Chains A and B, each alone.
Chain A
Amino acid sequence: MKMECDVLIIGSGAGGACVADVLTRAGLDVLMIEEGPELKAGETLSTAHEALPRLWRAGGLTMALGPTPISYAEGRCLGGGTEINSGIFQRTPAELLEAWAKKYRIVDFNAHSLAPYYDRATTAVKVSEGTDDFAEDSGILRRGGEAMGWKVSTLDQAQLSVNGPHGGSLAYVSQKKLSAKNALLPAAKTRGLRILSGCRALRLETKGKHVTRVHVMHGKTREAIQVKHVFLCAGAIYTPFLLRQSGFRAAQIGSSLRMHPTIKCLAFFNREVNAQQSRLPLCAVTQFMPDQRLGGSVFMPAFYGMALAESWEARGMHLFDMKNAAMYYAMARAEGRGSVHALPFLPDPVVRYRLTPEDRANLAMSAGRLAQALFAAGAKKVYPSLRGHTGWSDPAQARHFGERGLQEGQAHLMSVHLFSSCPPGENAAITATSSYGQLRGASNVTIADASQIPEAPGVNPQATVMALAFRNAEHFLQTRKKAA
C-alpha cells in the first residue's frame, strides 16, 4: 500500500467513518488508519473475555486519576467505540446547543442547522425505536419510573432489526446492532477508501504550521505517511494526546475533558428477570434529563461476575442468583473537568478528572432516585457501586443517601462517554479549533470526534459525534473547493 494520500483519517469510530463517507463521495484519495484490529467477516466474539483484549482499549483497564478515580471504556478496533457501545442514538437538547454556541462562539450551531447532519447520521446507521416488550429488565425500569410519577422513554438505537431478544446487545455479541464499521466503511471502501488496521499514529511532523508526515507504528514497523490533510478522529483521549506528543502546546488542547460519570446499581428480585437474555434494557427514566438519566446497563454473565467482585463480602452470597438480578445505572451530566497529559517517556496518556461537589450531589441524588424506582418495581435489595457498601433494603435508605450526597473517593464510578477535550468555536481563549474543527496552530488538521462536543450533552454522544463529523467534513470540502 502506498504511504501517501490526500487525506489521512486517524481513527475509525463514529467520527472517522463519517469523514470517510463524505470525503470518498467527493472522490478524494483517503487513507484511514486504526490502531486496533479488524474483525474478519463472519468472525464473532461471543464472550466478554474474548472481546475485552481485542476490541477495548487496554483490555478495558483505563482509568482517570483523581480524588474519585473513574474507570472509563473506549473502543480500540475497526469501528472504534461504535463496536463496543450500545448504539443508543439521541440528539443533544436544543437549549444546550444554543448555550454552547453563545459561550464558545460557535458559528451556525443550533438544533436547526445541525438537523440535516443528525438526519444523515440517523439514516446511515438505520436508527429505529427499540422494542422492549419482551424484556423484563426494561419492564422493571418502566414500571418503577412510572410508579414514581416520572417520565420514562424508549430509546432509539442503531440497529438492523428491532425484533426479538438481543436487540440491544453489543455489536460483537449480536450482529443486530449497526456499528460505524458495518454502516459506512464498506461503501466507502468501494469508493476507494484504503484502511490500515493495526497502525498506531505516533507523531505529526510539521513544517511551519503544515503537517507534512504522520509517523506511525504499523505492526512492528515504524513508517511515515505523506499527507496533504489530516482528520483527527481518535477520540476524546487520544486526539489531544497525539497533538501533545506532536508538540502542539496550546493550553486549550486536552484541558477541558468532560465525562458522564455513572454509579451502577445491581438489583435483586424475588422472581426471575433473566436480564442476561435481553442484555440491555432499552428504556430510560428521562424525567431529570439532561442533568440526570437513569437507565439499564449491559448485562452478561461476565459483567455480573465483575459486579459481584466489586464488594465480594457483601455480594458473594448472590453468586447463583443471576437470573433474579438486573443492572442499572444512574448517570449525571457533570460540570467537573479533566485533562489529558502526554508525559515524557510514557507511551500512554495520563488522564486526570475531578468532580465538583455539585457533581457528587447530583450523582448521589440520581443513584438514590434509581434505587427508589427499582424498589417501586419490586426490588428486594439494591447494591450501589459504593466502596464496601452492604446494599440498600428499602427505599428510605436510598432516599437518605441521595439527600446526604457522595463523599470524595466513596464510589466506584465509571464512564463510557468522554468528550470536550478539544472544543470548537471562535472564542480562542477556551477553544482548540475553529467552529468547524480546524486546529489552531496548524493549517491542515481538522478534528472530527467526541473531543469536539463542547461540554457534557447529558445524552449518549454517538449521534452528536456523527453529526459534527459530517459537518466538519462537509465544511472542509467547501473550503477546499473555494481555495481551488
Chain B
Amino acid sequence: MKIYCMIVAALLPPSPALTAKGVDEIAGFVKDTIALSPWHLRMGVRVAETALLFWLLLRVKGFATGKPEADSMRAALRRFEKFGNIPATLIRLYRSLSLLAWEERLEVVKALAA
C-alpha cells in the first residue's frame, strides 16, 4: 500500500494539493480496482509492477526508505513510461485510476469550479 501511495502521489497533479489521507484514499482505490480485474490481466499487471519496483529502487533517492524525493520519483516514472508498450500501459493505468478518483474529491471539485 505504501508503494501505491508513493506512486500515486507522484502521478497526481500538484495543485490543488491533497492531504496525505487524501492521497492514501486514492491509492487505496487504485489498489482495490486493480485487485478486481480478471486474473490473467492482474497477473500481467503484477509482473509489470515488479519491474517498476526494481526500477524505482535503482533510480529514486529515498524510495527504499519510503521517503522518495518527489522530483526524482516523477522523473523515474516518466522515464519508465518512455520504455513504451507494457511499461507505458502500466503508468497509464495508474494515472487513469488516480485522476478518476482525484477529479471527484471535494477539494478538487471546489478548486476546479472556482
Residue positions of A touching B, CB distance < 8 A: 47-49, 52-53, 58-63, 301-306, 308-310, 312, 316, 319-320, 322, 346-350
Contacts and interface: CB of A to CB of B under 8 A. Distances in A.
Contact of A306 (B13, B38, B99): B99
- Which interface residue of A52, A61, A63 has the most chain B CB atoms within 10 A? A61
B40 interface: yes
A60 B92 contact: no
Interface class of chain A by DSSP: helix
Interface stretch (B29-37, B46-54, B64-72): B29-37
A348 B100 contact: no
B109 interface: yes
Interface string B1-17: 00000000000010000
A322 B99 CA distance: 13
Contact of A302 (B13, B38, B41, B104): B104
15 contacts: A47-B104, A59-B32, A59-B33, A61-B33, A61-B36, A62-B38, A302-B100, A302-B103, A305-B96, A306-B96, A306-B99, A306-B100, A319-B13, A347-B39, A348-B39
Interface string B81-111: 0000000000011011011111110000100
B104 to A, nearest CB: 4
B7 to A, nearest CB: 13
A60 B95 contact: no
Contact of B112 (A63, A306, A320): A320
B100 A59 contact: no
Contacts of A63: 41
Q: How big is the B interface, by class?
A: 20 to 34
B40 A309 contact: no
Contacts of B33: 52-53, 59-61
Contacts of A306: 96, 99-100
A278 B54 CA distance: 45
Contacts of A316: 13
- 4 tightest A-B CB contacts, nearest first: A305-B99, A348-B38, A59-B36, A61-B37
Contacts of B38: 58, 61-62, 348-350
A411 B13 CA distance: 25
A48 B37 contact: no
B91 to A, nearest CB: 9
Contacts of A48: 100, 104
A303 B100 contact: yes
Contacts of A62: 37-38, 41
Contacts of A301: 103-104, 109, 112
Contacts of B34: 59, 61
A312 B78 CA distance: 11
Given A59-B37, A62-B37, A301-B112, A49 B95 contact: no
Given A305-B103, A309-B92, A309-B99, A322 B112 contact: yes
A53 B36 contact: yes
A75 B10 CA distance: 32
A452 to B, nearest CB: 24
Nearest to A320: B112
Contacts of B32: 53, 59
B27 to A, nearest CB: 12
Given A49-B101, A60-B33, A320-B112, 16 more contacts: A49-B104, A58-B37, A59-B37, A61-B36, A61-B38, A62-B41, A302-B100, A305-B96, A306-B100, A309-B95, A309-B96, A316-B13, A322-B112, A347-B39, A348-B38, A349-B38
Contacts of A349: 38
Nearest to A56: B36
A309 to B, nearest CB: 4
A61 B41 contact: yes
Contact of A58 (B29, B36, B96): B36
A48 B29 CA distance: 11
A267 B90 CA distance: 25
A312 B99 CA distance: 11
Contacts of A350: 38, 40
A346 B40 contact: yes
